[in-house]
Structure 1
């Protein structure tokens, strides 16, 4: 299953007929067992956004598993985003205080107090992409990563590590190999 397979679901979401709870419960998503934060940021909010579909439309959604991981701040310094929105992270990094503030006073205050974001961005293992590569890529959360880069560059308070949802190839379990009996 990929983003194009979810077209009818996306149309219903665009029409405003689906709350996130109803979206999440739709049978079309039965093969996708993702955390709510990932499902909301990836599919509900961006699943039909043109540049997003251009970059990630080929992904087999049911073959991606998500874990909340701790990532060192320097790892975000050169992390790319999708080709369709290349340069967007650096755009946000040019004025990190402004971009944090437009998200609301609580977001700006959280950056000042904690040196990190309030909601974990989504990163994807680049081995899942076409063309494949190594490392991680910012899938969703370009503003957050831009603010982080800008704050680092301007020597503002930044935590040494940050939480992020990371999508990786789902591991297949071989049920035949779990049999330890001898013939």
Structure 2
């Protein structure tokens, strides 16, 4: 199963008649066994976003297992995102305080108190994208990773490690 196989589900979601609860209960998704956070951020929110589909539409979704992992801050310094949105992380990194202030107030408080994001972003093992690749790539959460990079550059409080959802085969 890949993103194109979910086109009718995405159309129903676009029409506004499909809440996340009804979306995740759809029989076509039953075999995925993904955490709700991943289903929401990957499929419900971005499953039909054109650049996202360009970068990840070929993935066999049923071959991905998601685990909550703690990743060192240093790993995020140069971690890429998909080719279709290359440069987006650095765009957010240029103004980290701004990108936090346009979010709900709890997001900014969490950054100040804990030096990390409130909700874990999604990273993917690059070997799923290209067998010759290695390392992790930001699948969803480019703003969060950009804010982290910007906070580091501006010497604002940042934790030494961060929780993320990581997709691996």
TM-score > 0.5 by shorter chain: yes
Could you tell me the TM-score, scaled by structure 1's length? 0.91
1:161 paired with 2:164, answer no
List structure 1 runs of 4+ shifted beyond 3 angstroms: none
1:74 paired with 2:66, answer no
Aligned equivalents of 2:46, 2:6: Cα separation in 1: 12
- 2:97 corresponds in structure 1 to 97
Gaps of 5+ in 1: 170-183
- 1:121 corresponds in structure 2 to 121
Shift of 1:137: 0.1
- 1:146 corresponds in structure 2 to 146
Change (3 A) 1:132 1:10: farther
SS in 1 for 2:45: helix
Gaps of 5+ in 2: none
Instruction: Compare CA radii of gyration and give the structure with the larger one.
Output: 1
RMSD: 0.8
Alignment length (residue pairs): 169
SS in 1 for 2:48: coil
- 1:64 corresponds in structure 2 to 64
Output one character per residue of 1:98-125: Cα deviation in whole Å (capped at 9) or x when no partner. Answer: 1111112211111111100000000000
Could you tell me the TM-score, scaled by structure 2's length? 0.98
